Amino acid sequence: MNVVAIVQARMGSTRLPGKVLLDLEGRTMLARVVRRLRRATRVDRVVVATSTSPADDPIVDECRRLRAACFRGSEDDVLERYFQAAGAYGAETVVRVTSDCPLIDPGVADRVIGEFLEVRPDYASNVLRRTYPRGLDTEVMTAAALARACCEAGEPYARAHVTPYLYQHPELFRLHSVVELQDFSDGRWTVDCDDDLRFVRAVYARFHGDDTFGWHDVYRAVAGDPGLAALNRHVRQKRLVEG
């Protein structure tokens, strides 16, 4: 079962342009994501999927520096980009992660992939019912389900966000939700704006630039210093239809 983690990345961001190549204690945000995903034992390969736009050439350069596989596809139709990247690398199981989640946890990814391989749904994730902090989002799907979504999804937001057609159509796809016993969903660990960036930079500074820490370590750090969470607690998450 060829499990390919595909990380979508682009330089264009309405709230924080170029965020994927911004510095986090000596490494780019994209490098942090790739390095952390590479430690997931159930992932066979990590691929960065960016666009063919010249604006995204710096992402390709960073992939070369990281010796990371890179695929270039549609700038706006990210679902099509994922489908083509999955095909290019012979993925049977596709793991979707975004490049603005530099605290992504390999253990969480392994858990979601593991439950997917055990239950054998079409789609499994830890976002169907959120119990993890936002920023640990891991979605896993069959290549066949991704192909069907690519063929049938028509809404612009479904093309931009890759997976809505899957989880919004439980009558078509078998879904599986991965949850924690305790609810940690009030945590915001993703990067969408300057205040989010301040938060993750503070986290990486707390761990002196090492990125081998786990999500429980981050949770303990936040619990012990309420000022950390306060850095971006006020940030509103964009709705799907906002892009």
* CATH number, position 173: 3.90.550.10
The structural domain count of the chain equals 1
Confidence of residue 12 (pLDDT cuts 50, 70, 90): confident
Q: Residue 241 above 70 pLDDT?
A: no
DSSP code at position 236: P
Residue 243 within a domain: no
**223 in Cβ contact with 182 (< 8 Å):** no
Residue 65 within a domain: yes
Q: Is 76 exposed, middle or buried (0-12, 13-18, 19+ CB in 10 A)?
A: middle
**86 in Cβ contact with 56 (< 8 Å):** no
Residue 242 within a domain: no
Residue 71 within a domain: yes
Residues 6+ away with beta carbon under 8 Å from 183: 131
Q: Residue 242 above 80 pLDDT?
A: no
Residue 36 within a domain: yes
Q: List, in sequence order, every residue forming a beta bridge with 142; answer none if it has no partner.
A: 93
Residue 66 within a domain: yes
Residue 111 within a domain: yes
Work out the average pLDDT over 24-34: 98
Confidence of residue 19 (pLDDT cuts 50, 70, 90): very high
Query: For 128-178, how does the pLDDT look when each residue is reduced to its tens digit (9 = 90+)?
Result: 999 999 999 999 999 999 999 999 999 999 999 999 999 999 999 999 999
Domain that holds residue 76: 3-236
DSSP annotation string for 143-198: HHHHHHHHHH--SHHHHHHSSHHHHT-TTTS-EEE---SS--TT-B-S-SSHHHHH
